[in-house]
Structure formats: structure tokens, C-alpha cells
Amino acid sequence: MLNASIVSFLTEKLHSVSPGIVYVLVALLVFGEAALFIGFVLPGETSVIVAGVVASQGRVNVVFVAVLVVVSAIIGDSVGFEVGRHYGDRLIKLPFVRSRHDALERALEGLRRRGTTYVFVGRFTAFLRAVMPGLAGMSRLRYRRFLMANAAGALLWGVGYTLLGYFAGSALGTIQKWSGWAGIAVLVVVVGLVVALHYVKKRREANVEQEWREDHPEGDSTQSAE
């Protein structure tokens, strides 16, 4: 989980570099979270929130930061997807990955059962965000479906955490609490929406089937005769 002292330290260090370097560092960290597995060491939301805080101080443009974060996340995850598709079996044998074998198996199972929904939700959990693209590539999920779900998650995550850092500004002591609750709140909303959409879909299918039976009573009698 994000530590406010880390944010304070990184924000202070970024005061000594140019705005261009800030943009490059943020883009590389977000890109590398899944593409290079940097997320195992430094969760992506840390760098995004730091960039938002720096933007609140007028050193970089918050809109450009948000766009940069979203684009870097999508590209980085796409690279991670390809890495997983071609080299996934080798990567899961690496020591720092193998030590989380059980968590990876649970993630793969969730991916098989929920597909793109799990890709979207995984964006808001540090561990899943780092491994989800590679696992999606290993699972042979179609890239187009992965890209749509991943892009939606990256948009919400990137803009949300950039604005979190921006509006938090100097109130660094509250970032840890709010970043955690923000992730939980998003997960609750997503799960609620999935359940609601599933229920609505089932009801709609049942209504369509009932209407068809009412409009085609001869179809039922024919099936009965058979």
C-alpha cells in the first residue's frame, strides 16, 4: 500500500529536476509496472500521485500528466500482454514470481472465469496490476478484448490517481488513507455493476423468451408433438 513518507520523499527529490524529466520518469515508471514488472518494487499509483502533487505545485501540467499516465499504462500493459503470450511459461519460473505461485494461480483462475471484467478490476490492485497483462497473454485472451478492458481501467485509474495527488496537494498525510479507500470503493462499485448487469441481462433474456413464446404459440405445440 502507498506510504505517505515515500510520496513526500519523491516529491522533494523531483523539485531538483526539470519538468521534462518529471514527465519522462512518470511515463517510464507507469509503463514499466507491467512491462518490466517494476510494480513488484514500486506500485504505479505512487509515481502517479507524486506527479499529481508536483502538478498541484505548478511545476508540471496536470492534464498532460493524466494523459501521459493513461497512455503509458495502456502501452506498458500491451507490452506485458505480449511478453506473457510469448514468454509467460519462463517468467513464472523466476524466483521473485515463483514465490507468489498461489496468488498467480488464483489470478489465472479469476481471469479464466471472468475474462475482461477481471482485467478491468485488476487495474486497481497493485499485485494484479503488475501481473495481469502477462497472465492475460498466457491465457490466450484475445488482445482486442484485453485492450478494451485494460484501456477503460487505465483511464479511470490514471485520471483518478493523478487528480488524487493534485487535489491532495500539501495534505500528504491523508493520501495513504484515501488511496486505499479509493481502490476499495472502485472495486465495490465495479462488482455491484457486474452483478446488476448480469441480473438485468438474465431478466431481459427471460422477457424476450417469454414474448417469443407468446408470439409463436405454434412453436411450443410443434416441439411438444415432437
195 within domain boundaries: no
- Measured distance CA(90)–CA(16) in Å, rounded: 40
Residue range(s) defining the domain that contains residue 12: 4-185
- Measured distance CA(152)–CA(186) in Å, rounded: 13
Higher pLDDT, 182 or 105: 105
Q: What is the pLDDT of residue 221?
A: 45
> Is 71 buried (19+), middle (13-18) or exposed (0-12) by CB count in 10 A?
middle
Per-residue pLDDT of 131-165, as tens digits, reads: 888 888 888 788 999 999 999 999 999 999 998 88
Q: Are the C-beta atoms of 38 and 29 separated by less than 8 Å?
A: yes
What is the tally of structural domains in the chain?
A: 1
Q: Which three cell numbers stand for residue 187?
A: 472495486
79 within domain boundaries: yes
In which band, very low, low, confident or very high, does the pLDDT at 225 lie, cut at 50, 70 and 90?
very low
- Measured distance CA(161)–CA(56) in Å, rounded: 13
- Measured distance CA(85)–CA(59) in Å, rounded: 39
Q: Which of 92-101, 130-139, 174-183, 217-226 has the highest mean pLDDT?
A: 130-139
Report which residue type is found at 97: V
Q: Are the C-beta atoms of 48 and 160 separated by less than 8 Å?
A: no
> Is 152 buried (19+), middle (13-18) or exposed (0-12) by CB count in 10 A?
middle
Q: What is the pLDDT of residue 226?
A: 42
> pTM higher than 0.95, yes or no?
no
Q: Are the C-beta atoms of 13 and 59 separated by less than 8 Å?
A: no
Q: Which three cell numbers stand for residue 116?
A: 475482461
165 within domain boundaries: yes
193 within domain boundaries: no
204 within domain boundaries: no
173 within domain boundaries: yes
In which band, very low, low, confident or very high, does the pLDDT at 102 lie, cut at 50, 70 and 90?
confident
Q: Are the C-beta atoms of 52 and 164 separated by less than 8 Å?
A: yes
208 within domain boundaries: no
- The angle that helices 143-168 and 126-138 make with each other, rounded to 10 degrees, is 170
CB-side neighbour CA atoms (13 Å) of 139: 26
70 within domain boundaries: yes
